[in-house]
Amino acid sequence: MSGGEGKFTPGSMLELFQVEVENQAGALSGKLLELERNPRSINLLEPLMRAAHSIKGAARIVNHPLAVTVAHALEDVFVAAQNKDVTLGAHHIDVLLKGVDMLIQLSCLAEEEIVAGLDSSRRTEVDALAAAVRAILVAEEANGEPEAAPTGAAVEPARIEREEGAGQRVLRVNAANLDELMGLAGEALVETRRLHPFADSLLRLKRRQAELGTVLDHLHETLRAHEINERSAEYLRQAQQLALECRKTLAEQLAQLDQFDRRTSYLAQQIYHEASASRMRPFSEGVSGMPRMVRDLARSLGKEVRLEISGLETLVDRDILEKIEAPLNHLLTNAVDHGIESRDERLVAGKPAEGVVRLEAHHSAGMLIVTVADDGMGIPLGRLRQAVVERKLSTAELVAGMSESELLEFLFLPKFSMKGEVTEISGRGVGLDVVLSAIQQVRGSIRTTSEAGRGTRFQLQLPLTLSVVQGLLVSISGEPYAFPLARIDRTLKLGAAEIFSLENREFFLLDGERIGLVAAYQAFGLAAPGETAEATYSVVVISDRHNRFGVVVDRFLGERSLVVQALDPRLGKIKDISAATLMENGEPALIVDVDDLVRSIDKLVSAGRLDKMEQSHARAGAVAKRVLVVDDSFTVREVERKLLENSGYLVDVAVDGMDGWNAVRTGEYDLVVSDIDMPRMNGIELVAMIRKDQGLKNLPIMIVSYKDREEDRRRGLEAGANYYFTKGSFHDEALLEAVVDLIGEAAQ
């Protein structure tokens, strides 16, 4: 190409070559490891030869003679193996893998480095490695081992990117741009939620207009008795007409706003979903180099170990994938070094000579579950108890009475090791504490189980993404805070009778366990909240690996999907807080750092600075609100009745419009919830009858119907309904919010 944006520069050609080598090297490494396990599998040789040939051709195009030399040597060996002139064994695979490593290293060179390398020690390394590869052909004839690759030629196995499936277009996007897109999508999602409180304010205006209409009606009745002049009467009629027109216009605008709110919310959700999906990468991209790492480590230790990976297509957030790479390397290294026995030990124990380490990833209950398990000797609990006592981490008496899970917790302490000697691989006590720290940084947890003679299993529970957290919003001293759901053990309501004091502290029992109580405002150093009408305590039970507490909050605000907003790094680490988020109304809320909070509470307990809880909650004279549910469907009536009763409302039911009309005339209700299609009298007729009655015309009415056409909605609102919900679209929370908006909380 000449000129314009389509011109390839030498630098861009080398970047394309690097991508080519990364993809082909992944195929080379994977197939070589398979070939090592199945040396006579001829089918593996064809893709190996093609991959080496492709790299050689690409290297020639970008004028990279060093890479051509190595790729050509690999290709010669694969062709010879295809022709059955040579059978590749494990010692051959060692040399061939070093050739793959060298290709990855060479692909990262800049143009000037390639030129300089043609007349330097790098040329010597490349030639020596190519000679070692070609020596495989000669060594086969003499039944000897090939010449070892020079030390300088070896490089750490590079991270190999996954080769995309056929027909799938791939676009390389700067990570910073992707993060910015994700942030904007999150902000768009939050902004759409701000329409909801705006709609609520319009509903309040609508109620005010209804009150104005009532006042004007009363004024009309009063003045009619005093025979006002015709001009004043005309003004009053005009005021009534204008109030009615305003009410209808507002009802129509509210309906349009509701449609706009639902449409924009849906679009924002879709944009956010697509932006999130662009961050998700298959698990295979983060673990592609691990089979090679396990294989090389096992050979250095004189062991036979195979790594089996499942769930390669499981999607993982890019940031999480990067952050768990080092912990997984630690766990796999421990499995090979500590867990898997030597060949002779396994044969004596009746096991296959080859040990197996399994790495698995899958989604479960909205979380990413990653498991590392081996079929080795397991963790010897006797030696673990001895190590704990020797390091004076606990007394022999206490250790003897500890359960297996309690003992295994010691493995995650800093500088704790059960190995007596220090090697290049282990023995310094650096490993599992680093694993735990890294997992906690991504708001995850880890669980360990072990069985003597059968192996050890580490299960990592991680969030699917770091950009969104499922959280429980609570109020503390009148301010919103969010607890990540993954770190909540339990939520519950406690009565005063369920709390008991012991040694000047307050506790409650949860599944037979004594849990200490602490007021959240004390833990966060906030002002004590004012008195509330609540007769119970709202408690969030949280824990770390050492302590468990019940944190008393003002009230629960509900579960939310929260877009995580990082705090300004200039603020440093804020005590007990990990990040921030924005709520539907645009107000900020702080996301709790559970581990930090548990430590803060533990310090307060140790210092004896916790005040006792005071039962200042009392429901004095609270009167429950009464709701009439009118629907000819038994199922719908029961669902709505239970939903409202669970929120504290008193509920009566009517089986059709006529039954509802008789009930509303003879009883006193704060709200009517009605269907439309019913026998004897439909919902529109019922609403019209109520609005015509002087004693009932201001009674709040909500329609819940399967009819979702705009004309049906307009008919309902014009008839006088305050809300119109379609049964297929509303959620329990939305219905309850509308009920609260119309008549307030269940008891006031």
Question: pLDDT tens digits for 223-256?
Answer: 777 777 777 778 878 888 888 888 888 888 878 8
Task: Spell out where 464-594 has E strands.
Answer: 468-476, 479-484, 488-494, 500-502, 505-510, 513-519, 537-543, 548-553, 555-563, 577-582, 588-592
Reading across the β-sheet that carries 505-510, which strands appear in turn?
488-494, 537-543, 548-553, 513-519, 505-510, 500-502
The residue with tokens 């768009």 is: 188
Averaged pLDDT score across all residues of the chain: 79
- Helix (H), strand (E) at residue 28: helix 10-37
Residue 474 pLDDT level (bands cut at 50, 70, 90) = very high
Query: Between the ranges 218-222, 533-537, 538-542, where is the mean pLDDT highest?
Result: 538-542
Name the nearest CA neighbour of 98 among 127, 75, 132, 136.
132
- Res 708 pLDDT > 70: yes
* pTM for this model (two decimals): 0.55
End-to-end CA distance of the chain: 77
197-212 tens-digit pLDDT: 677 777 778 778 787 8
Rounded mean pLDDT, 396-402: 84
Interval 363-386 mean pLDDT? 87
Q: What is the pLDDT of residue 728?
A: 60
Range from 169-178, 245-254, 283-292, 328-337 carrying the lowest mean pLDDT: 169-178
Q: What is the DSSP letter of 406?
A: H
Q: What is the spatial distance between Cα 736 and Cα 742, in angstroms, rounded to a whole number?
A: 10
CA distance 636 to 308: 51
- Extract the tokens encoding 565: 């907003």
Q: List the strands of the sheet with 355-364, edge to edge.
A: 305-310, 355-364, 367-374, 455-463, 445-451
pLDDT digits (tens, 9 = 90+) for 130-151: 888 888 877 554 454 444 444 4
pLDDT at residue 400 is higher than 90 = no
Tokens of 697: 């015309």
Note whether 705 and 726 are within 8 A (CB). yes
Give 376: exposed, middle or buried? Use CB within 10 Å, 0-12, 13-18, 19+: buried
Gyration radius of the chain over CA positions: 35
Q: Is the pLDDT of residue 424 over 60?
A: no
Is the per-residue pLDDT at 413 higher than 60?
Answer: yes
Report the pLDDT value the prediction gives residue 109, as an integer from 0 to 100: 82
CA nearest to 560, candidates 502, 628, 484, 488: 484
Q: Which residue has the higher pLDDT, 643 or 358?
A: 358
Q: Which residue has the tokens 């992944």?
A: 26
CB-CB contact of 17 with 62 (8 Å): yes
Among 126-130, 605-609, 622-626, name the one with the lowest average pLDDT: 622-626
Q: What CA–CA distance (Å, rounded) separates 105 from 127? A: 15
Per the listing, tokens 């590749």 go with 88
Highest mean pLDDT among 149-153, 532-536, 692-696: 692-696
Task: Choose among 159, 138, 155: nearest CA to 147.
Answer: 138
Q: What is the DSSP letter of 8?
A: P
Q: Across 398-530, where does the E strand assignment appear?
A: 445-451, 455-463, 468-476, 479-484, 488-494, 500-502, 505-510, 513-519
Q: Burial of 355 by CB count in 10 Å (0-12 exposed, 13-18 middle, 19+ buried)?
A: buried
